Structure 1
Amino acid sequence: MTTTPAEPVTPAGPTVPGEPAAVAEPRRRRRAAAGWVLLPAVAVLLVFFFYPLATIVWSSFTEPTVGLANYTALFTDGVSVTVLLRTLRTALIVALVALVVAYPYAYAMTRVSRRTRAVLTVLVLLPFWTSVMARNFAWYLLEQRDGLIDRFFSLFGIDGVVLLGSVTGVTVAMVQVMLPFMVLPLYSNLSSIDLRLMDAATSLGASRPKAFARVYLPLSLPGVVSGFSLVFIVTLGFFVTPALLGTPQQSLVSQVIETRVGDLLDFPGAGAMGSVLLAVTLVVLFAVSRIAKPTAALNQAVDRA
């Protein structure tokens, strides 16, 4: 009489269909360990970011009375809407100009030698090694009356070109400050594009401009959208440059919020304006998540080629 050995008892079923339990268990442990590693960062964000943000938004709806009084006053006082529109327009212009300047620069970084690319990268990173205050004070000296910009235009018979205290002067300075934030995402994207696709398009009869517009540009769209959205969002809440180079008559949202908090002690009104700015930022981020799809851009470029 023979007996068959008993089959070993396996642990609980795997998390993935068809995956052995010996593989699933270590995977669950790694996920649990990753969760514990992320816990301190999540706690810091909750305490120092989300809690103050939630407090500001809550006070905008509950002080001095519960309701939308702060938001109603925001859109009917005749000043806040003008400031919001000026801020959105300035941020849009800064992002567009930075994109026009940064795109050829980032493209050149992908076509030069390794040594030249290192030099170009250092030039991009150099502003990060300089204080923002120092850079803005440098622009203060350049844009004031009898500054370098005024003297340059006076050589051509154009006198009185004083950018200090104007939205134009603030825009020019912010473009220079924000330029690295545009170049780096663009270069990261453009460096991953296979340039042989351009050669393939030209070998099939397309001209260089047409190959660039139909193949290279769609592939670079994720980098364009990422850099544009980053510069646009940061510019919306930028404070140092408008405060030093602008004027109260041409103030942006950050200056108005500072005035309401520091001078008028209008915390609910400042919270309402900050909440509107946050809503605009969330809308931009949502649009970026819908537009910046590298796989879709790659498929379209391949189909066109």
Structure 2
Amino acid sequence: MTLSDFFRPDGRRLSKAGILLLMGPFFLLIGFAFLYPLLSLLSISVLEPQPGLQNYERILDNPVYATVLMRTLWIAFLVSVPSLLLAFPVAMAMVSSGRGMAIFITACVLLPFWSSVLVRTAAWAVLLQRNGIVNGLLQLVGITDEPVRLLYTQGAVVVAMTHVLMPFMVLPIYGALRNIPADYGRAAQICGAGPIRSFLEVTLPLALPGVLGGVILVFLSALGYFITPALLGSPQEMMISTLISQQLREFLDWPFAAALVGVLTLFVTAITLIFSRVFRFDRMLGGHL
């Protein structure tokens, strides 16, 4: 087999065999580090303690588990909304700013990746504690007379997860906005459209693929988040990731924990398939493949 078998006649584009050769190590890594452990875990849910679906029936029979799953979906939705509202202006500023300012904004967006999620979550715990900065500011401006409970609440979890996941919303929207020709906005102004109308009828529809890509990235990531809900949330508002950890670490109930993983995987797969059927992922990421 020669190089001509992997390249097209123009010498610059790979053939299908060449693509498979380059993607082979990646597929092996995915299979070894993700698919095999996941399938092994799911097999435990139906084979132990005896073959059957009793672990999944246990989830359906107890309304507590359904409540935890619905709460997880709700918190993922709550995180996605403020992430979108905060990320869109940042992405627009990155596109419309000069080179120096765009680099600065990009560095600010990517800066959280330089520290671990645990460190960022611990920082929010310091800010939101009873004697923290946030409570101090609320009392200083006269909104509250005494410290209020901010830590170990659903609001604390949503705020901290929004801070952690917002970069995953900014980058797809930035990619979509950057691919919109500047002539479109000028053409809309020549036709008499004001800034608001130009944004609603030109910029927003063309940026929608990036918006949808950011929403699904943030939403799916929030579904399986563990560290932030575990540190900032309360036991009364447990998410499914914390419930799975509890079943594994405290009760050592691996089959039931595997069934919870199966249910979560089912929801993630269903949402991904719906988006992949309705929207093209290359457009959602703001690219033109």
1:45 aligns with 2:30: yes
Match of 1:127 among 112, 115, 140: 112
**CA distances 1:49-99 after superposition (whole Å, capped 9, x unpaired):** 111111111221222232221111112212111111111000001011100
Code of the aligned partner of 1:127:
P
**CA distances 1:26-66 after superposition (whole Å, capped 9, x unpaired):** 89995434323322222222222111111111221222232
Q: Structure 1: how far apart are the matches of 2:12 and 2:105?
A: 43
**CA distances 1:121-173 after superposition (whole Å, capped 9, x unpaired):** 11011101122221111111111111111111112141332211111111111
1:61 aligns with 2:75: no
1:114 aligns with 2:99: yes
Code of the aligned partner of 2:52:
G
Code of the aligned partner of 1:160:
P
- Correspondences of 1:138-177 after superposition (within 5 Å): 138-155=123-140, 156-158=142-144, 159-177=146-164
TM-score of the two chains, using structure 1 as the length reference: 0.84
TM-score of the two chains, using structure 2 as the length reference: 0.88
Aligned residues: 277
Q: Structure 1: how far apart are the matches of 2:138 and 2:8?
A: 71
Instruction: Give the deviation of 1:292 after TM superposition.
Output: 3.3
Structure 2 gap segments, 5+ residues each: 285-289
Note if contact 2:82-2:162 (Cα within 8 Å) is conserved in structure 1.
yes
Q: Structure 2: how far apart are the matches of 1:157 and 1:98?
A: 26
Bigger shift: 81-90 or 71-80? 71-80
**1:193 matched to which residue of 2?**
180
> Structure 1 242/294 Cα, relative in aligned 2: closer, same or farther at 3 Å?
closer
> Structure 1 187/243 Cα, relative in aligned 2: closer, same or farther at 3 Å?
same
**1:274 matched to which residue of 2?**
261
Q: Structure 2: how far apart are the matches of 1:147 and 1:213?
A: 40
Report the 3-state secondary structure (helix = DSSP H, G, I; strand = E; otherwise coil) of the residue aligned with 2:229. helix
> Structure 1 23/184 Cα, relative in aligned 2: closer, same or farther at 3 Å?
closer
Bigger shift: 225-234 or 57-66? 57-66
> Structure 1 286/203 Cα, relative in aligned 2: closer, same or farther at 3 Å?
same
Code of the aligned partner of 1:93:
L
Q: Structure 1: how far apart are the matches of 2:277 and 2:195?
A: 29
Match of 2:223 among 230, 236, 242: 236
> Structure 1 136/295 Cα, relative in aligned 2: closer, same or farther at 3 Å?
closer
RMSD of aligned residue pairs (Cα, Å): 2.5
Note if contact 2:210-2:283 (Cα within 8 Å) is conserved in structure 1.
no
Report the 3-state secondary structure (helix = DSSP H, G, I; strand = E; otherwise coil) of the residue aligned with 2:179. coil
Q: Structure 2: how far apart are the matches of 1:65 and 1:294?
A: 40
**1:81 matched to which residue of 2?**
66
Instruction: Give the deviation of 1:249 after TM superposition.
Output: 1.7
Report the 3-state secondary structure (helix = DSSP H, G, I; strand = E; otherwise coil) of the residue aligned with 2:148. coil
Structure 1 gap segments, 5+ residues each: 1-14, 16-21, 298-305
Note if contact 2:95-2:177 (Cα within 8 Å) is conserved in structure 1.
yes
**CA distances 1:223-281 after superposition (whole Å, capped 9, x unpaired):** 00011100111111111111111122211111000000111111111111111111111
Note if contact 1:226-1:288 (Cα within 8 Å) is conserved in structure 2.
no
**2:214 matched to which residue of 1?**
227
- Correspondences of 1:97-112 after superposition (within 5 Å): 97-112=82-97
Code of the aligned partner of 1:197:
Y
Q: Structure 2: how far apart are the matches of 1:66 and 1:194?
A: 58
**2:287 matched to which residue of 1?**
none
Identity %: 38
